[in-house]
Amino acid sequence: MASPAARARTPTLAPGNSLVSTRAPKRQLGFTLIELLVVITLIAIAAGTASLALRDPEATQLDREAERLAALLESARAEARADGLEVAWSPVIEDSSGAVGDNKAQFRFSGMPPQAQLPQRWLGAGVTAQILGADRIQLGPEPMIGPQRILLSLGNQRVMLTTDGLAPFEVEHPSP
């Protein structure tokens, strides 16, 4: 029989000690409220970012066309002022069938020297332009050209190019 001093020893966590509890510690099941809120927040941020990244391809194409036309108009405007030329821009009216041929111009810069060789076609199909309040955009030779607006359309998308006559043309998105 073991002595009373041997039985009164404090149990240790040493391997093989029979006095150590063999029950597994109680494990926590499930997630805390904070963990769930963090995951939901991350999912909401990812969904919002993805929805902003997915733009309508027509809107993207129309924005690209508007920025390109604004750059072309400013280039022709600078050329007109530098050389003292009377330069104008106008869209080409489509034929009665509504189609523009493969080699036909869709817009034109009149008064530009032949070596300028500015583009005369849209990058994509289906883009139409309408000058509001006039039949052409006057680009020079005067530095002040007067307020002018061009409405570009593609499908149900609309974009406006505007200038107050002194500032460069800029792209505006009309409110629906």
The per-residue pLDDT for range 77-121, each reduced to its tens digit, is 999 999 999 999 999 986 544 444 456 889 999 998 878 888 999
Exposed/middle/buried for residue 73 (C-beta within 10 Å: 0-12, 13-18, 19+):
buried
Q: How many domains does the chain have?
A: 1
Decide if 154 is inside a domain: yes
In a domain, 78, yes or no: yes
Whole-number Å distance between alpha carbons of 106 and 114: 18
Is residue 85 assigned to a domain?
yes
Structural domain span for residue 149: 57-94+105-172
* Coil vs helix vs strand at 83: helix
Domain-located, residue 133: yes
Residue 115 covered by a domain: yes
Is the distance from CB of 154 to CB of 165 less than 8 angstroms? no
Q: Residue ranges of the chain with pLDDT lower than 70? A: 1-26, 28, 94-103, 176
Task: Give residue for tokens 């990244």.
Answer: 53
Q: DSSP 3-state assignment of 36?
A: helix
48 in any annotated domain: no
φ, ψ of residue 23 in degrees (nearest 5): -75, 135
User: Could you report the per-residue pLDDT of 111-127, keeping only the tens digit for each?
Assistant: 988 788 889 999 988 99
Predicted pLDDT of residue 121 = 93
Asked, for residue 16, whether it belongs to a domain, the answer is no
CATH number at residue 143: 3.55.40.10
For residue 34, tell me if it sits in a domain: no
